[in-house]
Amino acid sequence: MLDFRRLVLICEFARRGSISATAASLGYSPSAVSQQLAALERETGAALLDRTARSAELTDAGRRLVEHAERILSMVETAESDLSAHEGTPSGRVTVTAFPTAAVAFAPALARSLRRHTALTLRMGQARSGRGMREVRSGEVDIALVDDWYGRVRESDTMRVFPLLHDPLVLVVPRKHRLASLDEPVDLRELRDEPWMATPDGEPSRLAMDRLLAEVGGAQPVPWEFEGLGTILGLVAKGIGIAAVPALALASGVRGIVVREFPGDPVSRDVHAVARASSVHRPAVSVTLRAVHVAARLLAEDLEAVRLTDR
């Protein structure tokens, strides 16, 4: 009989790639992880890891076992969700991760909506773009709010994707800027020499801004770089420069800026909630997904009211 906890451990090893990283993730010592994997090898009668003095990696048998183990763990979670669904009362902890802008925007509405469920606790963290789906898939979190700039987020047999809102880039300028007047048309070609603010090269919002400016041709401006869209909005409010940011960043409530729409069909992203198919019927996850949808609807309404208006 295979030990369930050891199946969890070898799946974690497959995700982390080393015994030390697996130990750190699960809160064990490296020697304990090594001993448990050795015990799993004895249970299966197969060499699951190819060990050297400095590293270890899965053998073909180890990879096959991980495939079986992932299906087994998914079936167990499905059974737990089915049983708890019939209980009906959301309880326990639900863990949500979100890219930073979404974490700031969604947290207040989620907290207000979920606090009436007294047996439920919410833990919400932040993850860089691209990590959310991996953390859901690995079981580290229950729900991830992810941004999708290129239409690549797709459902699978094991993952469910719930569309939340459409989030275009908008132009933000100081109140004393000439484009603060809504009668002044926005022409990107005339903004090349402006002092632009942007996130560091390689960040999703920076790549989106670069795409936007590349579409009008000519030499692209070299922006000053700052970590965090909130920092950039604060600098724009102080009159230091202008920026192209996702509209969702406006939910942080920065004042002293004017928001303008870009002409045509600007670069945009879609925001989704992602959860494991095996967990979506668990009451704690189900009620949190409903709260996420309500929060998204309210945010979309607020952002629509903010766009093209003086803040």
DSSP 240-257: S-EEEEEGGGGGG---SE
d(CA 161, CA 157): 11
SS3 287: helix
Lowest mean pLDDT among 110-114, 119-123, 141-145, 219-223: 219-223
Model pLDDT, residue 79? 65
What pLDDT score was predicted for residue 308?
47
What is the per-residue pLDDT for 97?
95
Are 97 and 135 contacting, i.e. CB atoms less than 8 angstroms apart? yes
Rounded Cα–Cα distance for residues 89 and 86 (Å): 9
Confidence of residue 81 (pLDDT cuts 50, 70, 90): low
Q: What is the pLDDT of residue 41?
A: 87
On the question of pLDDT at 310 being above 60, the answer is no
The span from the CA of 98 to the CA of 194, in Å, is 32
- pLDDT score recorded for residue 169: 94
Token couple for 152: 């690549």
Residue 253, both tokens:
């409530």
Instruction: Using a pLDDT cut of 70, give the percent of the chain over it.
Output: 93
- Nearest by Cα to 165 from 243, 101, 232: 101
Q: So what's the pLDDT on residue 108?
A: 92
Mean pLDDT of the chain: 86
How many residues does this entry show for the chain?
311
Q: Identify the CA nearest to 148 among candidates 129, 128, 131, 162.
A: 129
